[in-house]
Amino acid sequence: MTAALEVSRLSFGYGSQPVLEDISFTVGRNESVGIVGANGSGKSTLLWCIAGLLRAKGTVRLFGEPSSRSSRARLAMVFQNPEDQLFMPALVQDLALPLLNRGVEREKAFREAGARLADFGLEDYRDRPAAHLSLGQRKRAALALALMRDPELLLLDEPTAELDGRAVRLLAGALERIPAAKLIATHDLGFLRRTTTRTLLLRAGRIAADGPTEELLANEPLLEQAGLI
Ligand SMILES: Nc1ncnc2c1ncn2[C@@H]1O[C@H](COP(=O)(O)OP(=O)(O)O)[C@@H](O)[C@H]1O
Ligand SMILES: [Mg+2]
């Protein structure tokens, strides 16, 4: 089967300053891959380029096809700030929206949105705005929203930032049950160990390492050099 994602010789800069240089890697179907690197190393930028939100040089292929509107419809991204994706007066409306946009009938869309919230332990909050939830709940809600598209590739940007231990555990458990390829940008090394089998290390805009997560985590000099420990 073709890879979920193939990034080849990708380069990007916001201005003249390059942020990503000559990035190449692949993510297999159902593989879960981490992206680590110090603050400002380009993790978010790389995810934005893959999601087609920024236009980079080089090529991105999704599920064996060139990146296009239709191939990108098969991926979903969870932004670092859930506020960027949850803004309706009721959480259930946020989740129903992608289905309504796809032409799903109203009652069915709301029923599925409610069921998905229940899967994430958020049934008691369905009629409240995301702003009334704790950050951990909002992060879970943002993931639940991403899943409404049944993505085959899930891009997650700092999913555990500012979460407490229990919220991290719930999130890791939820991720494990999702049958999609995953690319997870994080500097939470415990979460990385728990949720990924392979990791890319970004340093100064380039891939400084790409290998099994356990090996990377055991390489203290490399982690130190990358500003991770
Ligand atoms: N919108 C932007 N405009 C200009 N520079 C940006 C913008 N977003 C990020 N940068 C710069 O790009 C680099 C990579 O940032 P980012 O991808 O956010 O890194 P990370 O997610 O690893 O912390 C940083 O030097 C950052 O200052
Ligand atoms: Mg970032």
One DSSP character per residue, 165-187 reads HHHHHHHHHHHHT--SEEEEE-S
**Parallel/antiparallel/unpaired status of strands 5-13 and 206-212:** unpaired
Residue showing tokens 């159902």? 30
Q: Are residues 53 and 160 in the same domain?
A: yes
Sole residue written with tokens 């400084």: 208
**Whether residue 156 sits in one domain with residue 61:** yes
Ranges of H-type helices in 102-176: 106-119, 135-147, 165-176
Whether residues 164 and 225 share a domain: the answer is yes
Coil, strand, or helix at residue 81?
coil
Domain total for the chain? 2
Indicate whether 85 and 158 sit together in one domain.
Answer: no
Which is nearest to 202 in space by CA: 6, 10, 3?
A: 10
Q: At 33, phi and psi to the nearest 5?
A: -120, 135
Please report the atom of ligand 1 found closest to the CA of residue 202: 22
Q: Is 159's C-beta closer than 6 angstroms to any atom of ligand 1? A: no
Please indicate, yes or no, whether residues 115 and 13 belong to a single structural domain of this protein. no
Residues 157 and 225 in one domain: yes
Range of the domain at 141: 81-150
Question: For residue 179, what pLDDT is reported?
Answer: 92
**Is the Cα torsion angle 91, 96, 97, 98 positive or negative in sign?**
positive
- Report CA torsion sign: 61, 23, 198, 40: negative
Whether 205 is in the pocket of ligand 1, judged by its Cβ within 6 Å, is: no
Hey, which bits of the chain come out as E strands?
5-13, 18-27, 32-36, 57-62, 65-66, 75-78, 153-157, 181-185, 198-203, 206-212
CA of 143 to the centre of ligand 1 (A): 23
At 131 the pLDDT is 95
How many A from CA of 37 to the centre of ligand 2? 9
Instruction: Tell me if 206 sits within 8 A of 222, measured CB to CB.
Output: no
Q: Is the dihedral of CA 73, 32, 95, 111 positive or negative?
A: positive
* Same domain, residue pair 19 and 31: yes
Is the CB–ligand 1 distance for residue 39 below 6 Å? yes
Q: What is the CATH number of the domain that holds 162?
A: 3.40.50.300
Same structural domain, 193 and 210: yes
Q: Are residues 212 and 224 in the same domain?
A: yes
Q: Answer whether 44 contacts ligand 1 (Cβ < 6 A).
A: yes
Question: Which amino acid is present at 133?
Answer: L
pLDDT at 3: 97
Q: How far is the CA of 46 from the centre of ligand 1 (A)?
A: 10
pLDDT in tens, the chain (229 residues): 899 999 999 999 999 899 999 999 999 999 999 999 999 999 999 999 999 999 999 999 999 999 999 999 999 999 999 998 999 999 999 999 999 999 999 999 999 999 999 988 899 999 999 999 999 899 999 999 999 999 999 999 999 988 889 889 988 998 999 999 999 999 899 999 999 999 999 999 999 999 999 999 999 999 999 889 9
Same domain, 87 and 124: yes
Distance CA 97, CA 116 (A): 13
Yes or no: say if 22 and 31 are a contact pair by the CB < 8 Å rule: no
Assess whether 164 and 218 both reside in one domain.
yes
Say if residue 112 is in the same domain as residue 16.
Answer: no
